C-alpha cells in the first residue's frame, strides 16, 4: 500500500474516541476525556520520559520531578547536576541533557509555543514529541505517531512494506484518520489501543473497537505487522570501573561531554565506549582487587564491566568528590554504576 491508496475515514476516529471515553488509562500526566487540557509542562515532561521507557518505570520519576520542580521555570532554574541525579536509573541520558536545555529555552521564551512548528524549534523535540504536545496540551490537530500508533496503523491499513522505509506511508495513513476535533484524545486513544489491545505479540482483536475496519485482521495474521527488519547483533565491549575507598567514602566523578552517560555521576573508569573497549589506566596506583564484573546492555552495545577495589589515602587524579558509602544510593549513579556499587557493597558486607 502507498499513501495514494489511502482515503479519509472519519468513522474510525469516532469509534476510537467512543472507546477511549470508556477505557482511557488514568495516568498522572493526563486529563480525563472531556476535561480541560493538561499543563503543557506535564505533557512535555511525560513524553520525554516515556521515550523508549515503560509507563510503569516513568510514573515514580514523573512524580518526583513534578514535586521537586512543579513548573518548567523551576526546572529551568535547577542545577543540571541535580536534574541528572534525579534522572539516574531512567536511562537514555541524552534525554535528561536535552530536558535541561529545553526547559531553559522555554523559560526564556516565557512559555511553550502552542503550535507544532514552534515546538519543533525547541532543543530535543522531534516530530513525535512536538506533535504530541501540540495535540494533547494545545488541542491542535497534529498527527502523533509513536511505536504503538505505528503498529495500530500498519495493521489497520495492512501496510506490509518493511520498516523503516514504510514510516512515511504509515504517517500518511494516520493523517487520514486524525480528526480535527479532540486530536489530543485521539492520539492518546491510539496509544492506549496499542498498549492494551493491539499489542505486539498477541493482538486482542475481539476487544478492539476498530476490528471491523481492520485490514490486518481480515488478512488472518495481524501480528505479523508492522514488518520489521532483522535485529543486528550488538557488539560486546569490555571495561573497568574503579571503586576507591577512603575513611568509609568512595571517590565519585562526573562524566564529561555529550557521550554515553554524559553529565552523570559515576565511578572512575578506563574509558570504554559503545565503539571500543577500555584501555585507560587506573586513577591511583596500588594493589587493586577484582570484585568481579557486572553486565549492562545499552542501545548500541553490551558491556562487561570489571569492578576493581582499592583502599587509598591518596587523592585520585582529576576532579571528583569523596561520597559517604552509607549514602551511596543518593549519589545519582546511573544503572550501570549502581550495579557496580552494589557489587562493591556486597563484597564489603
**Active site (catalytic) residues:** 47
CA–CA distance, 216 with 158 (Å, rounded to integer): 5
Q: State the virtual CA torsion across 40, 45, 51, 52 in degrees, nearest 10.
A: -140
Q: Is 296 helix (H, G, I), strand (E, B) or coil?
A: strand
Plot region of 247 (φ>0 → left; ψ -120 to 50 → alpha; else → beta): left
φ, ψ dihedrals at 236, nearest 5°: -100, 130
CA–CA distance, 41 with 66 (Å, rounded to integer): 9
How large is the C-alpha radius of gyration of the chain? 24
Helix (H) or strand (E) holding 214: none
Query: DSSP code of 269?
Result: B
CA–CA distance, 158 with 267 (Å, rounded to integer): 49
Is residue 172 within 8 A of residue 3, CB to CB? The reply is yes
Residues sharing a CB contact under 8 Å with residue 27, sequence separation 6 or more, in sequence order: 46, 55, 59
Is residue 89 within 8 A of residue 338, CB to CB? The reply is yes
Q: Residue 295 class from Cβ within 10 Å (0-12 exposed, 13-18 middle, 19+ buried)?
A: exposed
Alpha helix (H) residue ranges in 78-166: 80-87, 94-109, 116-120, 127-138, 147-156
Letter string b/e over residues 153-176, b meaning 16 or more CB atoms within 10 A of that residue's CB = bbbbbebbbeeeebeebbbbbbbb
Amino acid at each position: 500500500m502507498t499513501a495514494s491508496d489511502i482515503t479519509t475515514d472519519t468513522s474510525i476516529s469516532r469509534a476510537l474516541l467512543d472507546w477511549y471515553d470508556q477505557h482511557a488509562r488514568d495516568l498522572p500526566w493526563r486529563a480525563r476525556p472531556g476535561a480541560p487540557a493538561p499543563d503543557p509542562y506535564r505533557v512535555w515532561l511525560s513524553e520525554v520520559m516515556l521515550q523508549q521507557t515503560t509507563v510503569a518505570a516513568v510514573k515514580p520519576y514523573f512524580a518526583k520531578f513534578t514535586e521537586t520542580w512543579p513548573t518548567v521555570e523551576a526546572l529551568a532554574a535547577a542545577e543540571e547536576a541535580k536534574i541528572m541525579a534525579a534522572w539516574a536509573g531512567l536511562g537514555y541520558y541524552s534525554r535528561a541533557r536535552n530536558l535541561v536545555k529545553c526547559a531553559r529555552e522555554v523559560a526564556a521564551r516565557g512559555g511553550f509555543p502552542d503550535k507544532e512548528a514552534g515546538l519543533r524549534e525547541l532543543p530535543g523535540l522531534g516530530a513525535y514529541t512536538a506533535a504530541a504536545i501540540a495535540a494533547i496540551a494545545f488541542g491542535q490537530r497534529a498527527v502523533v505517531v509513536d511505536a504503538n500508533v505505528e503498529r495500530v496503523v500498519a495493521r489497520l491499513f495492512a501496510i506490509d512494506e518493511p520498516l523503516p522505509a514504510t514510516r512515511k506511508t504509515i504517517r500518511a495513513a494516520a493523517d487520514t484518520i486524525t480528526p480535527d476535533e479532540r486530536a489530543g484524545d485521539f492520539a492518546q486513544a491510539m496509544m492506549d489501543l496499542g498498549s492494551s489491545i493491539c499489542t505486539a505479540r498477541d493482538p486482542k482483536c475481539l476487544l478492539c473497537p476498530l476490528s471491523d475496519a481492520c485490514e490486518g485482521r481480515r488478512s488472518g495474521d495481524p501480528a505479523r505487522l508492522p514488518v520489521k527488519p532483522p535485529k543486528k547483533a550488538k557488539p560486546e565491549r569490555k571495561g573497568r570501573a574503579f571503586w576507591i575507598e577512603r575513611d568509609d567514602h568512595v571517590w565519585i566523578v562526573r562524566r564529561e561531554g555529550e557521550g554515553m552517560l554524559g553529565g552523570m555521576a559515576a565511578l572512575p573508569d578506563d574509558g570504554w565506549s559503545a565503539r571500543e573497549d577500555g584501555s585507560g589506566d587506573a586513577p591511583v596506583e596500588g594493589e587493586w582487587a577484582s570484585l568481579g564484573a557486572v553486565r549492562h546492555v545499552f542501545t548500541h552495545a553490551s558491556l562487561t564491566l570489571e569492578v576493581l577495589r582499592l583502599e587509598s589515602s591518596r587523592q585520585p587524579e582529576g576532579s571528583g568528590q569523596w561520597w559517604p558509602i552509607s549514602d551511596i544510593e543518593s549519589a545519582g549513579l546511573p544503572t550501570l554504576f549502581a550495579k557496580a556499587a552494589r557489587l562493591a557493597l556486597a563484597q564489603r558486607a
